[in-house]
Structure 1
């Protein structure tokens, strides 16, 4: 049934988009390992639509000043685009730039981290609070009745998606696993150098830390910090099935990766841009499922679920 619906959607798209080309600008402040996964997912999904319907222009930076991001969004609006896909901090200036774009008739789809107080057209990504709860369950069940302390890493507190993961994580620990404490580090921006320094400082200051929930990335640096301090890690839960995490999971250096299908997110974003019905309003979120990945069920590159 689902395949039949998908085929009908493709036929409708071919009819509606015949002879048309849509340019979409993908704007992200994110580590390179994740932006690479996003680019690959979007380019793979473009190939499933009628030829030349979509053309993606990518604007990526690992760290972007707020003023630079706002200027970029305004330049894209003034130059002209058929849609913007955006991963950005949830701050007032960014929300204002999104409003200027939607007022100009440009649909804006937030990707993996939402801007719920903006006029964005739709959100495409996972249920981040549920993902945080899933991480808490994995870690809590691993410790059982034992006490533990988890190092929670955020790339930045400015991203709503990361904040939602942390909220879900802390809530479930507080309610179901009260013996487990949390030490948080933030503002490493997912880069190895900054995240590694923050991790080293945290584990040096607190000998009780014996687990990791990596929300913001920089996992090789976090592992190196524990190794340098000669400190064991009982369980390590990470996000995003990028190249680094694939290698670390295969080598059993991390325990689980919480995966969601970026190609589904890309598909949802494309549909929101094509849809005229959601323009000017808030569409229901298109949530992709969170999957617990181990070394034994890792999606194969090039399959329908190639990235997280």
Structure 2
């Protein structure tokens, strides 16, 4: 049986095709009585609006903004690179993208950036979120304006966005804790953690998950107070070097954020290297894993996150709701499973 057409809807509702089209595509200037008739006919016939055809007929252009932290963070450089590649490819689908950079962990800068969006004509925005009530008013104003909002990598206040795209950061922190606990083999330990700032949802959640598991399942491991670094490599290096000097019995370090080039520099000079877990596989963390300075990298696959952000924003703009997608599970990289990396000489099959 053929799918019902808009003509079928108009006939069933007893209205003109033009009136049915205005109702279906929300063009306005239709009496409430006619709107009810058309919607009842759509429900009775099982009519599904062809979004692609409607957008094509109107020459619709999707205008999207991505608010990304400013700075030399290698992970967000990956985000920017993939955004630019994807945006160029999607131009043929009438999608236009603007990358707006805001100060890392800067609540006031984020607030100003969101407020500035109100003066522009964006259909949807993806935001690397922060935890602050100061963001609620501009986010609410954007939603009132009809802008689709999603949190990306780090979540926003849940009542002010339609979806979050990223890994479960509490689970990521719990995973790091489990790996470090297993590395201690049931023995005693002393662990130093680092974070950019607790204003970032992802950093706060990773730390919380990490502390939960260590406290509950590895009581012989002591945790030092986390050190805040703003993800600045120089700050990470200085604080890591000081921690290593002050605590020669340090058995593990875990950085929930960025600035890992500084951590690597400190570990390279340490007389005794503690077990090390970090996030995001970028060139310098990969080299550090290969060299044995970092033991484990937890990577959240930002290319997948960006692709999902485009899909979700487009669906929200088209009023299709948030599409069902499988949970985004991070990848755990060790020296032996780095993508495209050959086995080290000691691991090669010597029987050949």
Partner-residue secondary structure (3-state), 2:96: strand
Quick one: distance in 2 between partners of 1:278 and 1:210? 52
Find runs of 4+ consecutive structure 1 residues off by over 6 angstroms.
Answer: 281-286
Partner-residue secondary structure (3-state), 1:51: helix
The one-character-per-residue Cα deviations of 1:159-198 (angstroms, maximum 9, x if unpaired) are: 1111111111111111211111222434311111122222
What residue number does 1:24 align with? 64
The one-character-per-residue Cα deviations of 1:75-104 (angstroms, maximum 9, x if unpaired) are: 122112121111132111123221121111
Please tell me whether residue 221 in structure 1 is matched to residue 262 in structure 2: yes
Quick one: distance in 1 between partners of 2:322 and 2:191? 36
Aligned match of 1:142 in 175, 183, 186?
183
Structure 1 residues 64 and 113: alpha-carbon distance in aligned structure 2, compared to 1, 3 A threshold: closer
Contact 2:197/2:228 (CA < 8 Å) preserved in 1? yes
What residue number does 2:346 align with? none
What residue number does 2:206 align with? 165
Contact 1:122/1:283 (CA < 8 Å) preserved in 2? no
What residue number does 1:60 align with? 101
The one-character-per-residue Cα deviations of 1:198-218 (angstroms, maximum 9, x if unpaired) are: 223333333332211111121
Q: Which has the higher contact order (CA 8 A, sep 6+)?
A: 1
The one-character-per-residue Cα deviations of 1:214-237 (angstroms, maximum 9, x if unpaired) are: 111212212323444x34223111
Quick one: distance in 2 between partners of 1:244 and 1:64? 23
What residue number does 1:9 align with? none
What residue number does 1:242 align with? 282
**Alpha-carbon deviation of 1:62?**
5.2
Please tell me whether residue 269 in structure 1 is matched to residue 309 in structure 2: yes
Aligned match of 1:259 in 271, 289, 299?
299
Quick one: distance in 2 between partners of 1:94 and 1:57? 20
Structure 1 residues 205 and 283: alpha-carbon distance in aligned structure 2, compared to 1, 3 A threshold: farther
Structure 1 residues 174 and 31: alpha-carbon distance in aligned structure 2, compared to 1, 3 A threshold: farther
Which stretch shows the higher mean deviation, 192-201 or 292-301? Answer: 292-301
Contact 2:102/2:109 (CA < 8 Å) preserved in 1? no
**How many equivalent residue pairs?**
289
Aligned match of 2:331 in 255, 280, 291?
291
Please tell me whether residue 188 in structure 1 is matched to residue 232 in structure 2: no
Partner-residue secondary structure (3-state), 1:115: coil
Contact 2:264/2:288 (CA < 8 Å) preserved in 1? no
Contact 2:191/2:222 (CA < 8 Å) preserved in 1? yes
Contact 1:91/1:158 (CA < 8 Å) preserved in 2? yes
What residue number does 2:21 align with? none
Which stretch shows the higher mean deviation, 250-259 or 194-203? Answer: 194-203
Gaps of 5+ in 2: 1-49, 342-352
TM-score between the two structures when normalised by the length of structure 1: 0.83
Quick one: distance in 2 between partners of 1:169 and 1:92? 25
Quick one: distance in 2 between partners of 1:63 and 1:143? 34
RMSD: 2.8
Partner-residue secondary structure (3-state), 2:160: coil
Partner-residue secondary structure (3-state), 1:263: helix
Aligned match of 1:130 in 144, 166, 171?
171
Please tell me whether residue 200 in structure 1 is matched to residue 241 in structure 2: yes
What residue number does 2:140 align with? 99
Partner-residue secondary structure (3-state), 1:57: strand
Which stretch shows the higher mean deviation, 28-37 or 120-129? Answer: 28-37
Larger Rg over CA atoms: 2
Gaps of 5+ in 1: 1-11, 302-308
